[in-house]
């Protein structure tokens, strides 16, 4: 079974559009991008386009590559204090002179629709989440949409980043999976991966997950965004080989990626709803 993230995200965006219309609310998202990275610019443009589609207002703030931490913190503070803004998204990565941790911690937790603030990560770890990072939350939505059982299953997450691996593990644990996080120092990695009923790869290496590392019938979630030797977009998983063994698998493109944006939209609406009540 192919887990079609594009299709699920389209469906979720349509439902969200109706919910926003019915609510009478006009949620607003502010994005901040520092520098000229074309990849980041593309992602931010896609987020603004999604906002327009569902009826969320968006403002984009573009700051120069040589922006200081202090200047960025001032911008975040202004958005925190703006009652018309419900969600704030600081596009990562930031240029190296900027203290990313200070910036993430400066975003008001109520407007942290990206779910990266330690308050929101703490709530997630405590099992009482408010906003969760959009990529792993979007993966939980795909699993739910396809009726893939999580409770009691063995889940293995490869990668321990703040935006994917760690929150993914917390979300799976909150859904009663037995969770293992693997990383670059893990011993017998292939054995760990083969034990997974649900395998999530967030490594960033094309061809990293081979068929012999996947249990027959497992659900394989590919979070990788890589380019192969022909310059073609691909994930971490050797898709053609692994799909023969897996019970369900996300493609790249059209798997996890679209769900990240749909989740951002849902969390921005949630921020507007929470403010309204
Ligand atoms: N850079 C890559 N993915 C993301 C994301 O989900 N949120 C933000 N803010 N930056 C990113």
Task: Tell me 214's DSSP state.
Answer: S
Residues 147 and 251 in one domain: yes
Asked if the structure places residue 266 within a domain, the reply is no
Radius of gyration of the chain (CA): 19
Same domain assignment for residues 51 and 164: no
89 CA to centre of ligand 1 in angstroms: 8
CA of 32 from ligand 1 middle (Å) equals: 11
pLDDT tens track, the chain, 277 positions: 999 999 999 999 999 999 999 999 999 999 999 999 999 999 999 999 999 999 999 999 999 999 999 999 999 999 999 999 999 999 999 999 999 999 999 999 999 999 999 999 999 999 999 999 999 999 999 999 999 999 999 999 999 999 999 999 999 999 999 999 999 999 999 999 999 999 999 999 999 999 999 999 999 999 999 998 899 999 999 999 999 999 999 999 999 999 999 999 999 999 999 999 8
Same domain as 184, residue 104: no
- 150 annotated ligand-binding residue: no
Domain that holds residue 76: 26-108
Of 9, 61, 91, the residue with max ligand 1 atoms within 8 A of its CB, to mutate for a pocket test, comes to 91
Domain identity same for 92 and 151: no
- CATH label of the domain that carries residue 231: 3.40.50.720
207: exposed, middle or buried (Cβ count in 10 Å: 0-12, 13-18, 19+): middle
Residues marked as catalytic: 47, 91, 114
76 phi and psi, to 5 degrees? -60, -40
Q: Would 196 be classed as within a structural domain?
A: yes
Which atom, in ligand 1's list, is nearest to the CA of 260? 6
Q: CA-CA distances (angstroms) from residue 176 to 60, 96, 141, 155?
A: 38, 38, 15, 10
The answer as to whether 36 is a domain residue is: yes
Supply the CATH number for residue 100's domain: 3.40.50.10860
Which one of 67, 92, 108 terminates a domain? 108
pTM over 0.95? The answer is yes
Q: Is the CB of 267 under 6 A from ligand 1?
A: no
Q: Are residues 77 and 138 in the same domain?
A: no
Mark which of 57, 73, 108 sits at the end of a domain.
108
CB of 134 shorter than 6 A to ligand 1: yes
Distance between CA atoms of residues 169 and 175, nearest Å: 10
**Residue 4 domain-assigned (yes or no):** no
Residue 115 lies in a domain: no
Cα–Cα separations (whole angstroms), residue 56 to 41, 78, 133, 201, 258: 19, 20, 19, 32, 17
Q: Does one domain contain both 209 and 250?
A: yes
Query: Does some domain include residue 271?
Result: no
Which of these, 57, 60, 104, 61, lies nearest to 84 by C-alpha position? 57
Domain limit, last residue, from 73, 93, 108: 108
Q: How many domains does the chain fold into?
A: 2
Kindly state the greatest CA–CA separation across the chain.
54
């Amino acid at each position: 079974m192919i887990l079609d993230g594009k299709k699920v995200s389209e469906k979720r965006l349509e439902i969200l559009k109706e919910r926003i219309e019915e609510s009478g609310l006009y949620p607003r998202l502010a994005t901040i991008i520092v520098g000229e990275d074309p990849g980041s610019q593309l992602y931010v443009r896609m987020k603004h386009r999604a906002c327009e589609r569902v009826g969320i207002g968006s403002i984009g703030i573009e700051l120069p590559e040589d922006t200081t931490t202090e200047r960025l913190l001032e911008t975040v503070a202004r958005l925190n204090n703006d009652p018309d803004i419900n969600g704030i998204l600081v596009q990562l990565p930031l240029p190296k002179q900027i203290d990313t941790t200070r910036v993430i911690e400066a975003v008001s937790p109520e407007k942290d629709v990206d779910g990266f603030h330690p308050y929101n990560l703490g709530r997630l770890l405590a099992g009482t989440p408010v906003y969760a990072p959009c990529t792993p939350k979007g993966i939980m939505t795909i699993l739910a949409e396809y009726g893939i059982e999580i409770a009691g299953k063995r889940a293995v997450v490869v990668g321990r980043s703040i935006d994917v691996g760690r929150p993914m593990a917390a979300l799976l644990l909150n859904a009663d999976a037995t969770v293992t996080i693997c990383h670059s120092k893990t011993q017998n990695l292939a054995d760990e991966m083969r034990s997974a009923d649900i395998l999530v790869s967030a490594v960033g290496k094309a061809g990293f997950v081979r068929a012999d590392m996947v249990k027959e019938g497992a659900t394989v979630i590919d979070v990788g965004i890589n380019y192969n030797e022909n310059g073609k977009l691909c994930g971490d998983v050797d898709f053609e080989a692994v799909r023969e063994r897996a019970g369900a698998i996300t493609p790249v493109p059209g798997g996890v990626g679209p769900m990240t944006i749909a989740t951002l939209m849902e969390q921005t609406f949630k921020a507007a709803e929470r403010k309204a009540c």
